[in-house]
Every structure is written in structure tokens, then in C-alpha cells.
């Protein structure tokens, strides 16, 4: 999708000589309007989540049976749920939960992906073959199906949700890193480093890894969008973040009955829109980062 | 060509075996086992009974022996029996697969038709307003959770406007009729398919853009060929080949999505069965489903590769 972005067909703009890679990348990113929009929206959401304890107007957890199922009003901006909890307060707290689950999960998967991909790509040969066949096996399982299964083995909790999503979504990054490493490992800068006795770890970390930082950052950004969707799905099924802790996914789970769907749309519209908005902003940012850091890739 | 297919088949054997090892390992970590499901701890001498039954079932053997016994059964088509009902897992799957194929197939068709059409238009009108609109819609598509889209569709088309039923595969109590079945199919299929159109759109757009700038397209135009023929015969024919691979990529995602969509719409397929089994901790059924979905995904990757090599003779495999 990157090719549509306004930036690409104006690539001719002269770059000042001697400009660093990161300066160029930042310029390209700042020209991507949708990415900037995404960044603004996401920052606002992060701010709401961080400030949740300050801006909450009621407790997100305590029941208030005197004000059950109220429509949005001045007192309850987004209405209340069937147990009288304020939806606005729950939404901002849920943001904290959903965003941090996404962030931690994607950090875990990126780390595993980098380690496995680097080893496979640097070692090549048999080690590579074994690691890649293992990656193929993990990829053979539909990820959400496996996430649901393992979450049910470990038992549902917020930490298990992070862990399960993290340990099942690394193959994409592993393959990416491995492919790049394989293409770089025979190049002269690596041979030079090896010939003067630089240790393999140093070569991987100091010489090869900086070449894939851009690609990995882009993949991790899209991975975070995906992790938020996976968390929402898992919590929606009741296997992720558990009540009373709110997450956008489990707020939707509470709203599945037809009476709520029909009679109290604010209960499911608000969390659903928050998920879509968060994921959309992150995807926009990812697209901008792709233009900025990885301009050669077409997809 | 034949050697390529054969080699590809050979490579998938260790992967399939690996899949069975992973499935077995996860199953062995599942809380609850067949014996505890059959014998209540309230029974007098429960402990002795449990021990006896474990011995009979071979559950006291080392784990690798258990694995090979299980694998042997598997190769004879026995996936075990449900803890809840005692029904054979193979029969349970077989009874529900048609409903899932109906749902996933229709969703895939929706995603392909809409996605490819949007992708082609987007590419032909690159950088136009319509291109930007479609790209934006594509982003929105991959960002909306399918279950949320499902809820919106139910709210609008089933509750507000009564166009379609809210759930189920047919009206309870009525005799089966195709039109009734299709009316039930519309909402879940769109909820599952629409959010996946974006992927097809993106690949189609890129592929068409790549082909459009080829010399043979310029030649076709230069010799005065009608634009429609240039598009259909020269551009699309070549551009749509890579899109075939997207179908293979899409299948695992569809499996995950269908679990949730089948649950929301109470669509009686294998996804709904899987979620029921997860809630009841019925591990033979869970494992049967996981194994089945992984094998299907593996097979479809194989078929995609083979189909691709037929469709694009430029690719040489040796």
C-alpha cells in the first residue's frame, strides 16, 4: 500500500549533501500525512491511557447498581454498563491494558524473531535448515487457533495473553531477518570483520544487525497492530484479559447479547471503535515508517 | 515439474510430523485427562480405578511411547473420542466440515472478488481520488476486528432492518431450503470476508502496477489495440497470477476468523465446535481441530505452490 502514499511520486526533492540516514528517514516520515495523523491519534490514546487514573470520572471496576444501563449523558459521557460502571472510565483504563498487552506481546515476538532469524541467517547450512523447518511448523498453525489453544492450557490472564501472542507470532520477523542476514553474510564488510577475528556475536550484533533495524521496526509496528487485534479476539472469547480488569476486547464480550446489541449500542460501539482506531493509527504509522526506513520494499 | 511436486511433497512430511509432535506436546499439558473425565473422584476406590484405567489406556507409559501409539492411531484415522460425549472426533469433524466450508468458501469468494476488483481499479487509476479512497478503505478493513464488523452488520441488517436473521444456519423447525440457508449465510460470510478484501486489493494493485509498465503492454497499446483488450488480455492475465498465492496466505487467517464468526453467529461448523471444546476443556476435540486446521493449511500451501508453477511457466524449479 505504500506506493500510494503522497510522498512517493515526489521523490525527486533534493536532499542536502551529507544528510544522515536518520534525518532523511525522518523527512520522509514527516511527509507521510496519514502516518502523522496516526501518530497524533495514537499519542492521544496513549495519553488518555496513561492519565486514566486522573481523568477517570468513576471507578472503572466498582459496581453502581443505582445507575445501570444508562445512555450517554452529561454525568456518564459514554453511558454505563449493565452493572452501572461508567463506560468512559472503563474505556480509558482498557486502553492502558490493551495497548500494553500489544506492546509487550510484540516485544516478545520481535526478540524471538531476531534471535532465531539472526542465528539461522548467520550460521546458514544445517542450522539454518533446522531452524527454518521449525519456523515452518510454527507457521503451519493458524495463529489465532493456536493462541486460543495455548491460552486455554495456561489459563487466561493478562500476562499469559502477552506471552502466548508473543511466542506464536515471531516467524514473520525471523524469516525477514534470516533472509537479510543470508544476503549480507558473504559481503565484504562481513568477510573483513571475520578475517580480523571479530567474534560471531559481534559480527551479528555490530555489523549485520544495523542493516535490518529499519525492516524489523516496520514489521514490529505492523506486528503491534496485529497483536492488539489478537488480544481483542482472545479477550472477546473470554480467554484473554479477565474481568474485572477492562480491556477493549472483554468489554465487547460483555455486549454480545441481543438485548445489549439492540438496546445499548454505546456498550459495544465505544470499545469496538477504540480498537479500530488504535489499530488503524498504528497501521498508518507502520506505512509511514516503511516509506521512511524501507523505501525499496513494495508491500 | 513432477520431480518438483514430489520433492515438495517429501519436504512437507517432516513438517507434518513436527506438527503432530507439537500438537501432542500441547495436549499432554492440558489440564484434565480422559480418565479423570470418565471416573468421578467420588467413586469408592477412585484412586485404584484411575490407576487401573490409566494402565489400560497406556497413560502410565513414557511420553514418547504414548506419542507413537497416538501417531499409530492417527495414521489409521482415529483422532480419539470426545471427553464430553464419547463421540469419535473424526465423526464430529466430518459432520461439521460442510458448514465451515460453506462459510469460509463464501467469505474467500467475497474477499477475492471485491479485493481484486478494487485492486485493479486502484492500479489503473493510480494516484487518483478513487485510488486514495480504496487505499484508505483497505487500511480501515485490516484495522476493524471481524467480530466488531459482525456486530455492526447484525445491528444494522438483522436488528434495525430485519433483512437477514441474526444467527444460525437455517430457521429452526423449518424444513431445509437453500434460500433460507443462504439468507443465514450472508451476514457471517460478509463479516468474515470483507475485512480480508484489503489483502487481495493490496497484492492485486501492486501486481497490476508492476505488469502495466512492461514493454509488451506498451507494444500492445502502440499497435492500437483496444484498451479493454490490453487490460484483460495483456495486463490482468499476467498480473493475477501472484494473487493466487494470497489465497494460500489467507487460509490460516480465515481459520482463526471463522472460529470467532461461527461463535457470534452460532454457525454450526468446526470453529463453533472448537470453541465449545475449549470452554469444556475437551482436549481430544481441541487437538483434532488444531491438527486438522494445520494439515489443511500445510496442504493448501502445497497446492498453491503447485498451482503457481502451472500458471507461471517462467518459474523453473530444479
**CB A69 within 8 Å of CB A81:** yes
- The pLDDT tens digits of the residues spanning A254-277 come to 777 777 888 788 888 999 999 999
pLDDT greater at residue B31 or residue B72:
B72
Does residue A9 carry a pLDDT above 60? no
Does residue A5 carry a pLDDT above 50? no
Q: Which residues of B touch A152 (CB under 8 A)?
A: 30, 278, 281, 286
**What is B34-51 written as a DSSP string?**
HHHHHS-TTSTTHHHHHH
What value does the mean pLDDT take over residues A26-49?
A: 89
Q: Which of A99-108, A136-145, A221-230 is least confident? A: A136-145
Asked whether the beta carbons of residue A150 and residue B263 sit closer than 8 angstroms, the reply is no
Determine the pLDDT at residue A159.
Answer: 92
Nearest to B26 among A149, A255, A262 (CB): A149
Q: Which residues of B touch A268 (CB under 8 A)?
A: 148, 151
**Cα of B152 to nearest chain A Cα, Å:** 8
Asked whether the beta carbons of residue B22 and residue A137 sit closer than 8 angstroms, the reply is yes
Q: Choose from A244-258, A273-287, B239-253 the range with maximum mean pLDDT.
A: A273-287
Does residue B239 carry a pLDDT above 90? no
What value does the mean pLDDT take over residues B72-83?
A: 84
User: Residue B79: which of B292, B298, B297, B294 has the closest Cα?
Assistant: B292
Nearest residue on chain B to A279, alpha-carbon basis: B143
**CB B90 within 8 Å of CB B78:** yes
Determine the pLDDT at residue A31.
Answer: 84
Determine the pLDDT at residue A4.
Answer: 43
What value does the mean pLDDT take over residues A221-236?
A: 94
Q: Which residues of B touch A148 (CB under 8 A)?
A: 259, 274-275, 278
Determine the pLDDT at residue A216.
Answer: 93
Kindly indicate the confidence band of residue A81, based on its pLDDT and cuts at 50, 70 and 90: confident
d(CA A255, CA B120): 38
Chains A, B: CB contacts under 8 A, how many?
A: 151
Determine the pLDDT at residue A17.
Answer: 57
Q: Which residues of A touch B195 (CB under 8 A)?
A: none
Nearest to B154 among A225, A261, A283 (CB): A261
**CB A91 within 8 Å of CB A104:** no
Question: Hey, of B27, B127, B147, B284, which one would you mutate to test binding to chain A, going by the most A CBs within 10 A of its CB?
Answer: B147
Determine the pLDDT at residue B98.
Answer: 94
Asked whether the beta carbons of residue A152 and residue B286 sit closer than 8 angstroms, the reply is yes
Does residue A43 carry a pLDDT above 90? yes
Asked whether the beta carbons of residue B145 and residue A236 sit closer than 8 angstroms, the reply is yes
pLDDT greater at residue B216 or residue B310:
B216
Determine the pLDDT at residue B180.
Answer: 84
Nearest residue on chain B to A226, alpha-carbon basis: B143
Summary mean pLDDT of chain B: 85
Determine the pLDDT at residue B116.
Answer: 94
pLDDT greater at residue B233 or residue A112:
A112
**CB A73 within 8 Å of CB A127:** no
Q: Which residues of A touch B205 (CB under 8 A)?
A: 1, 3-4
Does residue A15 carry a pLDDT above 80? no
Q: Which residues of A touch B279 (CB under 8 A)?
A: 238
Determine the pLDDT at residue A11.
Answer: 44
User: Positive or negative, the Cα torsion across B269, B275, B279, B285?
Assistant: positive
**Cα of A186 to nearest chain B Cα, Å:** 24
User: Positive or negative, the Cα torsion across A256, A259, A262, A268?
Assistant: negative
User: Residue B296: which of B234, B247, B263 has the closest Cα?
Assistant: B247
What value does the mean pLDDT take over residues B55-65?
A: 73
Q: Choose from A131-140, A276-285, B206-215 the range with maximum mean pLDDT.
A: A276-285
d(CA B249, CA A88): 38
Check CB contact of B259 with chain A, cutoff 8 Å. Answer: yes
Q: How many CA atoms lie within 13 A of A116 on its CB side?
A: 24
**What is A185-242 written as a DSSP string?**
TTSHHHHHHHHTT--HHHIIIIIIHHHHHHHHHHHHHHHHHHHHHHHHHHHHTTSSSP
Asked whether the beta carbons of residue B19 and residue A255 sit closer than 8 angstroms, the reply is no
Q: Which of residues 105-164 of B touch A (CB under 8 A)?
A: 122, 126-127, 131-132, 135-136, 138-140, 142-145, 147-148, 151-152, 154-155, 159
d(CA A65, CA A234): 28
Nearest to B135 among A4, A145, A237 (CB): A4
Asked whether the beta carbons of residue A9 and residue B14 sit closer than 8 angstroms, the reply is no
**CB A232 within 8 Å of CB A249:** yes
What value does the mean pLDDT take over residues A38-54?
A: 90
d(CA A149, CA A146): 5
**What is B215-271 written as a DSSP string?**
HHHHHHHHTT--HHHIIIIIIIHHHTTTHHHHHHHHHHHHHHHHHHHHHHTT--SHH
Asked whether the beta carbons of residue B15 and residue A280 sit closer than 8 angstroms, the reply is no
Asked whether the beta carbons of residue A255 and residue B151 sit closer than 8 angstroms, the reply is yes
Instruction: Give percent of chain B above pLDDT 90.
Output: 29
The single-letter DSSP state of residue B155 is: I
pTM higher than the cut 0.90? no
Kindly indicate the confidence band of residue A221, based on its pLDDT and cuts at 50, 70 and 90: very high
Q: Which residues of A touch B133 (CB under 8 A)?
A: none
Q: What is the ipTM of this complex?
A: 0.85
Within a 10 A sphere around the Cβ of B192, how many other Cβ atoms? 29
Determine the pLDDT at residue A7.
Answer: 44
**CB B22 within 8 Å of CB A137:** yes
What value does the mean pLDDT take over residues B184-202?
A: 92
Beta bridge partners of B88: B81
Summary mean pLDDT of chain A: 85
Asked whether the beta carbons of residue B256 and residue A232 sit closer than 8 angstroms, the reply is no
**Cα of A134 to nearest chain B Cα, Å:** 8
Determine the pLDDT at residue A19.
Answer: 67
Determine the pLDDT at residue A298.
Answer: 47
Check CB contact of B255 with chain A, cutoff 8 Å. Answer: yes
Determine the pLDDT at residue A2.
Answer: 42
d(CA A116, CA B40): 45
Asked whether the beta carbons of residue A233 and residue B202 sit closer than 8 angstroms, the reply is no
What value does the mean pLDDT take over residues A172-182?
A: 92
Determine the pLDDT at residue A261.
Answer: 80
The residue ranges of every structural domain in chain A are: 42-59+75-292
Q: Which CATH class is domain A42-59+75-292?
A: mainly alpha
d(CA A72, CA A88): 9
* Structure-block grid coordinates of residue B106: 463464501
What value does the mean pLDDT take over residues B298-318?
A: 76
Asked whether the beta carbons of residue A152 and residue B209 sit closer than 8 angstroms, the reply is no
Determine the pLDDT at residue A222.
Answer: 94
User: Positive or negative, the Cα torsion across B72, B78, B80, B86?
Assistant: negative
Nearest residue on chain A to B133, alpha-carbon basis: A4
Q: Which residues of B touch A283 (CB under 8 A)?
A: 139, 142-143
User: Residue A227: which of A103, A66, A79 has the closest Cα?
Assistant: A103
Nearest residue on chain B to A232, alpha-carbon basis: B145
* Structure-block grid coordinates of residue A207: 555489523
Asked whether the beta carbons of residue A141 and residue B297 sit closer than 8 angstroms, the reply is yes
Determine the pLDDT at residue A12.
Answer: 45
What value does the mean pLDDT take over residues A137-157?
A: 88
Asked whether the beta carbons of residue A1 and residue B135 sit closer than 8 angstroms, the reply is yes
Asked whether the beta carbons of residue A1 and residue B255 sit closer than 8 angstroms, the reply is no
**CB A222 within 8 Å of CB A206:** no
Does residue A297 carry a pLDDT above 70? no
Kindly indicate the confidence band of residue B149, based on its pLDDT and cuts at 50, 70 and 90: very high
Q: Choose from B79-88, B110-119, B136-145, B149-158 the range with maximum mean pLDDT.
A: B110-119
Asked whether the beta carbons of residue A144 and residue B152 sit closer than 8 angstroms, the reply is no
Amino acid at each position: 500500500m505504500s506506493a500510494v502514499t503522497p510522498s512517493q511520486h515526489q521523490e525527486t526533492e533534493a536532499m542536502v549533501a551529507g544528510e544522515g540516514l536518520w534525518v532523511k528517514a525522518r523527512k520522509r516520515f514527516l511527509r507521510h500525512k496519514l502516518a502523522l495523523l496516526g501518530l497524533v491519534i495514537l499519542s492521544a490514546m496513549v495519553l488518555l491511557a496513561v492519565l486514566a487514573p486522573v481523568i477517570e470520572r468513576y471507578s472503572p471496576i466498582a459496581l453502581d447498581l443505582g445507575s445501570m444501563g444508562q445512555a450517554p449523558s452529561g454525568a456518564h459521557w459514554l453511558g454505563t454498563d449493565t452493572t452501572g460502571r461508567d463506560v468512559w472510565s472503563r474505556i480509558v483504563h482498557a486502553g492502558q491494558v490493551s495497548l500494553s498487552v500489544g506492546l509487550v506481546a510484540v516485544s516478545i515476538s520481535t526478540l524471538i524473531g531476531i534471535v532465531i532469524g539472526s542465528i539461522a541467517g548467520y550460521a546458514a547450512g544445517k542450522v539454518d535448515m533446522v531452524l527454518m523447518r521449525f519456523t515452518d511448523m510454527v507457521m503451519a498453525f493458524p495463529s489465532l487457533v493456536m493462541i486460543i489453544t495455548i491460552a486455554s492450557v495456561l489459563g487466561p490472564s493478562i500476562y499469559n495473553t502477552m506471552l502466548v501472542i508473543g511466542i506464536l507470532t515471531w516467524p514473520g520477523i525471523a524469516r525477514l531477518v534470516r533472509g537479510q542476514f543470508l544476503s549480507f553474510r558473504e559481503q565484504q564488510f562481513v568477510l573483513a570483520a571475520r578475517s580480523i577475528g571479530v567474534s560471531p556475536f559481534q559480527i551479528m550484533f555490530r555489523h549485520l544487525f544495523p542493516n535490518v533495524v529499519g525492516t524489523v521496526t516496520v514489521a514490529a509496528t505492523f506486528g503491534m497492530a496485529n497483536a492488539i487485534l489478537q488480544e481483542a479476539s482472545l479477550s472477546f472469547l473470554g480467554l484473554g484479559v479477565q474481568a474485572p480488569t477492562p480491556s477493549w476486547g472483554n468489554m465487547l464480550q460483555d455486549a454480545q447479547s441481543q438485548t445489549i446489541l439492540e438496546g445499548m449500542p454505546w456498550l459495544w460501539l465505544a470499545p469496538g471503535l477504540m480498537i479500530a482506531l488504535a489499530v488503524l493509527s498504528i497501521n498508518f504509522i507502520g506505512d509511514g515508517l516503511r516509506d521512511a526506513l524501507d523505501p525499496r520494499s513494495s508491500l | 515439474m513432477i520431480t518438483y511436486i514430489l520433492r515438495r511433497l517429501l519436504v512437507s512430511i517432516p513438517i507434518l510430523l513436527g506438527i503432530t509432535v507439537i500438537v501432542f506436546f500441547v495436549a499432554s499439558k492440558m489440564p484434565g485427562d480422559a480418565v479423570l473425565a470418565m471416573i468421578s473422584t467420588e467413586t469408592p476406590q477412585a484412586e485404584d480405578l484411575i490407576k487401573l484405567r490409566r494402565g489400560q489406556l497406556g497413560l502410565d507409559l513414557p511420553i514418547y511411547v504414548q506419542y507413537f501409539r497416538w501417531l499409530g492411531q492417527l495414521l489409521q484415522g482415529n483422532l480419539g473420542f470426545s471427553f464430553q460425549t464419547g463421540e469419535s472426533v473424526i465423526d464430529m469433524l466430518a459432520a461439521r466440515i460442510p458448514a465451515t466450508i460453506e462459510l469460509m468458501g463464501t467469505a474467500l469468494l467475497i474477499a477475492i472478488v471485491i479485493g481484486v476488483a478494487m485492486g485493479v481499479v486502484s492500479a489503473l487509476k493510480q494516484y487518483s481520488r478513487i485510488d486514495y479512497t480504496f487505499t484508505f478503505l483497505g487500511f480501515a478493513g485490516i484495522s476493524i476486528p471481524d467480530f466488531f464488523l459482525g456486530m455492526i452488520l447484525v445491528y444494522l441488517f438483522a436488528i434495525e432492518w430485519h433483512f437477514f436473521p441474526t444467527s444460525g444456519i437455517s430457521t429452526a423447525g423449518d424444513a431445509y431450503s437453500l434460500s433460507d440457508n443462504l439468507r443465514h449465510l450472508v451476514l457471517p460470510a460478509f463479516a468474515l470476508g470483507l475485512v480480508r478484501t484489503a489483502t487481495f486489493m493490496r497484492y492485486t494493485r501492486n501486481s497490476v502496477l508492476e505488469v502495466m509498465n512492461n514493454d509488451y503492454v506498451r507494444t500492445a497499446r502502440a499497435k492500437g489495440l483496444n484498451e479493454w483488450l490490453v487490460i484483460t488480455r495483456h495486463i490482468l492475465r499476467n498480473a493475477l497470477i501472484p494473487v493466487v498465492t494470497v489465497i494460500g496466505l489467507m487460509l490460516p487467517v480465515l481459520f482463526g476468523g471463522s472460529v470467532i464468526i461461527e461463535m457470534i453467529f452460532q454457525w454450526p461448523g468446526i470453529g463453533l465446535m472448537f470453541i465449545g471444546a475449549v470452554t469444556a476443556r475437551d482436549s481430544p476435540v481441541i487437538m483434532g481441530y488444531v491438527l486438522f486446521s494445520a494439515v489443511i493449511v500445510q496442504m493448501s500451501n502445497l497446492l498453491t505452490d503447485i498451482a503457481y508453477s502451472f500458471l507461471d511457466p517462467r518459474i523453473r524449479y530444479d
